[in-house]
């Protein structure tokens, strides 16, 4: 039977980097990625990174696991959400960082202050942030949103998130949104039904230990 391993993590908790490292083992299909501002951006994930999208934009019911390959899937959804649909899969859950202040500072620098001139990357971020908070909007509204984003000089991803939520672009509002997306403690169901990995151990964990878990 083919194996699927979900790497479940909150925003900024190094899940894509771990997924890439695990996928380099010959047991799995290799994931390719690029490094941007300290962030790992996967470019060939089986589900086109849909498990990193807001829940209003995806439908798990039509996303079946492959039967011809072993894959690693980065996900912002944990076993408490995915376990019933994907009963044969394995789950790694990255725990909350112990030093949240340091984590917040790093996340703010890596994400909220991130800038890019890559048009496709900008459009992708606009899509990912606009639609979840503007569910009654239409294509014309989205196009106007993109024009507003593109009109901002030296725009950041934090600017895009503020505009998507309909609030002014200020440092104070970015800090408020940073608090909203910071990881929350894992619940009992997640702890009981997955391989819980401390955030601090993400770069240290042995891939062979993970492969042993997957093969059980």
Q: What is the pLDDT of residues 12-39, one digit of tens each?
A: 999 999 999 999 999 999 999 988 777 8
pTM: 0.87
Q: Is the pLDDT of residue 193 over 80?
A: yes
| % of the chain surpassing 90 pLDDT | 78
| Cβ contacts of 79 within 8 Å, gap of 6 or more | 6, 8, 91, 93, 189, 190, 193, 194
| % of the chain surpassing 70 pLDDT | 99
- Name the residue with higher pLDDT: 169 or 53: 169
Contact 210, 132 (CB under 8 A): no
pLDDT tens, 56-114?
Answer: 667 888 899 999 999 999 999 999 999 999 999 999 999 999 999 999 999 999 899 99
Q: What integer pLDDT is reported at residue 198 of this predicted model?
A: 97
């Amino acid at each position: 039977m083919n194996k699927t391993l979900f790497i479940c993590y909150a925003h900024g908790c190094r899940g894509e980097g771990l997924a890439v490292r695990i996928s380099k083992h010959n047991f799995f299909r290799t994931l390719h990625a690029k490094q941007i501002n300290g962030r790992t951006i996967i470019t060939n994930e089986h589900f086109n990174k849909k498990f990193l999208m807001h829940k209003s934009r995806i439908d798990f019911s039509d996303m079946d696991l492959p039967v011809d390959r072993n894959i690693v899937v980065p996900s912002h959804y944990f076993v408490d959400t995915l376990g019933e649909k994907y009963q044969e899969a394995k789950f790694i859950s990255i725990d909350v960082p112990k030093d949240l202040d340091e984590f917040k500072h790093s996340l703010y620098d890596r994400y909220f202050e991130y800038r890019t001139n890559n048009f496709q990357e900008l459009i992708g971020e606009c899509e990912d942030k606009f639609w979840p908070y503007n569910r009654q909007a239409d294509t014309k509204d989205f196009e106007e949103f993109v024009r507003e984003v593109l009109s901002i000089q030296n725009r950041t991803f934090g600017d895009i998130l503020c505009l998507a939520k309909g609030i002014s672009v200020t440092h104070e509002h970015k800090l408020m949104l940073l608090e909203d997306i910071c990881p929350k403690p894992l619940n009992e169901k997640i702890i009981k039904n997955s391989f819980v990995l401390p955030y601090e151990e993400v770069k240290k964990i042995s891939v062979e230990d993970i492969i042993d878990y997957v093969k059980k």
